[in-house]
Structure formats: C-alpha cells, structure tokens
Amino acid sequence: MDKFQKYKDYKTIISVNVLIWCKGKVLLLKRSEKKSIDPGVYSGIGGKVEPGESVYEAIVREAEEEAGIKDLGSLRVFSITQHPYPPTECEWVNIYFNATMKEMPDIPKSDEGEFHWVEPKDVDSLNMVHDLQEYIKILSKDPNAFILGFFNYDKSGKLAEKTIEVL
C-alpha cells in the first residue's frame, strides 16, 4: 500500500490576505453583498493562490485587483491559519501578511465591496471574519506577534472550534 495514499485525495486551498496599516488604522474590505463567500462581511484584502503562482505573486496581484494598490512596500507574514470548512470539503490554509503605508489612499467602491480605514478598537463592533477580528486585536497590542490559528466550522458555517497560538 502506498504510504501517501490517504493524501492523494486531500484537498487544500492556499489563500493569502494582507492587512494594510496606516497611522494606527487598518484597511478593511466590507465585502459586496453579491459575493458568494462572506457577503457583507469585513475582511482583509486577498484571495486564492492560483495554480503555478507564488504566494508573493498572489498577494501582489490580489492587492492590485481588489484595491488598486500597486506597492505594498515591506510585507511581513504574521499568521498561518487553517480552516477546515465542511461546506467546501476542502481545508483552507491562509497565509496572512502585514503591510504599512505612509498615506491612506481613498479606494473607490468596486465589485469587491467598500474599503474602510478602521481603528483596531472598533473591530468587535463589525461583522467580521473571526480570525482577522481576533488577529487585529492581537497585532494592535503586539505588532511583531506571529500567530498560528485553527478555526473549524460546523456544516452550517458556525464556528465550532478555534485555537490561537501567539509566538
């Protein structure tokens, strides 16, 4: 028996996400109500890594496609997070980055949704993806934190289990 057989049908989607910081605020996307995943929910900027694309190429592409931002400057990975999500029958592995800008660009509304510069203390009042809501609070206290996350959801999409390790 092939010792790797159990992994041959294993499905993993790799995605990237960036939190862009400026003057103590973080840029968040309120996703369009027309989106099939997380409509109307606040998130960072990002998406799936395409086949044959590097993680770096993906984050640069997503920032330009979604927000028109062509220069992310210095990027730093702050988290790797797993999302075994039953409705997709795939595990998502998200690689999260921080970037810092000197000025807050005004980003027009698009098919992706609306962009907002948000104070970290206000994230609890937003309808936000669970991991980033927690991560923004951690990063606002310790910008150098590295976070390993595990967020598991039940078949209805409700958070069933989470583990956060801050290194």
Check if the beta carbon of residue 37 is closer than 8 Å to that of residue 68.
Answer: no
Q: What is the pLDDT of residue 87?
A: 62
Cα–Cα distance for residue pair 105/94, rounded to 1 Å: 26
Is 152 contained in some domain?
yes
CA nearest 83: which of 36, 48, 114? 48
Confidence band of 37 (pLDDT split at 50, 70, 90): confident
Which range, of 19-23, 37-41, 131-135, 152-156, averages the lowest pLDDT?
Answer: 152-156
Its domain, for residue 26, covers 9-166
Residue 74 φ/ψ, nearest 5 degrees: -80, 125
Is there a domain that residue 151 lies in? yes
Neighbours of 128 (CB within 10 A): 20
Whether 3 is in a domain gets the answer no
115-166 pLDDT, tens digit each:
999 999 999 999 999 899 999 999 999 999 999 999 998 888 788 999 999 9
- Residue 4 forms part of a structural domain: no
Residues of the chain with pLDDT > 90: what percent? 74
Quote the pTM value: 0.91
**Distance separating alpha carbons of residues 127 and 41, to the nearest angstrom:** 5
Which amino acid, 17? N
- Decide if 98 is inside a domain: yes
- State both tokens at 78: 């702050």
Confidence of residue 1 (pLDDT cuts 50, 70, 90): low
- Say if residue 46's pLDDT is above 90: yes
pLDDT score recorded for residue 154: 84
Please enumerate in sequence order all residues whose Cβ is within 8 A of that of 130, keeping only pairs 6 or more positions apart, or say none: 151, 159, 162
What's the number of domains the chain is made of? 1
Say if 18 falls within a structural domain: yes
The residue-averaged pLDDT of 20-34 equals 95
Two structure tokens written together for 83: 């999302």
Would you say residue 2 lies in a domain? no
Rounded Cα gap, residues 13 and 48, in angstroms: 7
Give residue-wise pLDDT tens across range 86-117: 666 789 999 999 999 999 988 999 899 999 99
Residue 155 one-letter amino acid: K
122 is a domain residue: yes
Residue 153's domain is classified under what CATH number? 3.90.79.10
